[in-house]
A and B are shown apart, each in its own frame.
Chain A
């Protein structure tokens, strides 16, 4: 069998190589058919379509609907979010998944999206495909998020909550006191105290500030 197939396979690779070489020969020479204007304008229009398409596709992956299309997210963390103030509240503003978990500016967003390719791997191989597996990994997953928010000074929190716009006279005495002492002085960042505000917590033994 292999002796019968081998000439076919070699001829395919030979043809592919020849096609590639011919393409390169065409590409490396100046065009003799299309005008410079067509090439420039065509490139411009194609660029808009590709760039716009890329960003549209990127934004599609940045929605609550997309995040909760995986059962890992829908049945675990999204269910837990539903009972918190970031889902329903008196003013009706909802923080959806990417508001807290994806940076808003482009460079950092792309970096985070590339990291997220590991989550696709986890989905395909069922790393957290059951509730039990998810709970086993919960501490590790939570620690990734705490480390990220600690490193970027709670950037995603501050997209909405800024210390400058915080009116501490409207806060409860406890909150006003803590924010004045630790947030305004830069001693602590949001995530240092506000862990577990959107999802249930893992085993917190040994985590700083917890018993």
Chain B
């Protein structure tokens, strides 16, 4: 094969490959559903996903890490939390827990920013939903491979399962 012929053949092969590459995504849209926005093209707006119901079991949920603000295991629809009142405290305030059997707000919530304990809830901790949120019965679009510290410690312990 002459060098000249080789160059022509190479150019033809390159042109064929590039043509294949440009036609491939149109024919086979498999990688697209992996995107969070679904198969809708970028210049169009996808239909909104269905609203999912709130988790309403009232069962305490395990924290993922010690400092996590506990999630709210019930609906809080229509609960007024503003300057006039705080519906959450109707059950979770210290004096209300006897009747409601709800967990009392943490004593850390009585502290001001200097660590000084106040007689009642600190103003900076008044707006519960700044940290505590209710949960939807929704499947996470992205899987989470977070491993908490207890699992890590157990793995390194003599009887731990090393995975």
Contact of A204 among B85, B99, B121 (CB under 8 A): B85
**B85 to A210, Cβ gap below 8 A?**
yes
Q: Mark A117-136, 1 if CB is under 8 A from B, else 0.
A: 00000000000000000000
CB distance from B69 to the nearest CB of A (A): 19
**B75 to A172, Cβ gap below 8 A?**
yes
**B86 to A211, Cβ gap below 8 A?**
yes
- Neighbouring B residues of A160 by C-beta, 8 Å: none
- Give complex CA distance A182, B98 in Å: 13
Tell me if A's interface is mostly helix, strand, loop or mixed: loop
Q: How large is the interface on A (under 10, 10 to 19, 20 to 34, 35 or more residues)?
A: 20 to 34
**B58 to A172, Cβ gap below 8 A?**
yes
Q: Mark A57-100, 1 if CB is under 8 A from B, else 0.
A: 00000000000000000000000000111000000000000000
**A210 to B89, Cβ gap below 8 A?**
yes
- Neighbouring B residues of A203 by C-beta, 8 Å: 83-85
- Complex interface residues of chain A between 152 and 191 (CB less than 8 A to chain B): 172-174, 177-178, 182
Number of residues in B with C-beta < 8 Å to the partner?
23
**A211 to B93, Cβ gap below 8 A?**
yes
- Give complex CA distance A177, B59 in Å: 13
- Closest A residue to B77 by beta carbon equals A85
Q: Say yes or no: is B40 at the interface (Cβ < 8 Å to chain A).
A: no
**B87 to A196, Cβ gap below 8 A?**
yes
**A202 to B121, Cβ gap below 8 A?**
no
Q: Say yes or no: is B108 at the interface (Cβ < 8 Å to chain A).
A: no
- Give complex CA distance A173, B57 in Å: 7
- Closest B residue to A196 by beta carbon equals B80
Known: A172-B75, A174-B58. A211 touches B84 (CB 8 A): no
**A84 to B90, Cβ gap below 8 A?**
no
Q: Which residues of B contact A (CB under 8 A)?
A: 56-59, 74-75, 77-78, 80, 83-87, 89-90, 93, 96, 99-101, 120-121
Q: Can you list 10 A-B pairs, Cβ within 8 angstroms, ordered by A?
A: A172-B56, A173-B59, A178-B100, A182-B99, A204-B85, A205-B85, A209-B90, A210-B85, A210-B89, A211-B85
The 7 A-B pairs at the shortest CB distance, nearest first, are namely A204-B85, A211-B89, A173-B58, A174-B58, A172-B56, A203-B84, A201-B85
